[in-house]
Structure 1
């Protein structure tokens, strides 16, 4: 079977630690539930991601070299 998460077009997905998450939420003045959602069944998610975790997605960007986005894992 092919591991989709290792494909060159799939950006990096990492589970965010709680300390880092608190800084991000404070910076944007939002709650965890205000983040965009990503399904637990998404094949690009790391195996250790569980419902309620926040995922940092790091994409290549033409304007900023690398762009970070955050998603809340839902069922």
Structure 2
């Protein structure tokens, strides 16, 4: 079986620690539930991702070199 998370077209997905999550939420003045969602069973989700975790996704971008987005893991 192919591990999709290792494919060259899948951007880097990283689980954030609780302190990092609090910094992100404070920076954007939002609640955890305001974040876009990522299903726990998504093949690109990091190993060990649990419901309620926040994932940082770093993508290549034509305009800004790289784009950072955050997703809340749901079931």
TM-score higher than 0.5: yes
| Cα shift at 1:61 | 0.6
Scaled by the length of structure 1, the TM-score of the pair is: 0.96
Scaled by the length of structure 2, the TM-score of the pair is: 0.96
Match of 1:7 in 2: 7
How many Å separate the matches in 1 of 2:47 and 2:27?
Answer: 28
Are 2:23 and 1:23 aligned? yes
Q: CA RMSD in A?
A: 0.6
The answer for unaligned runs of 5 or more in structure 2 is: none
How many Å separate the matches in 2 of 1:34 and 1:8?
Answer: 29
Q: How many residues align?
A: 75
The answer for unaligned runs of 5 or more in structure 1 is: none
Where do 4+ consecutive residues of structure 1 move more than 2 Å? none
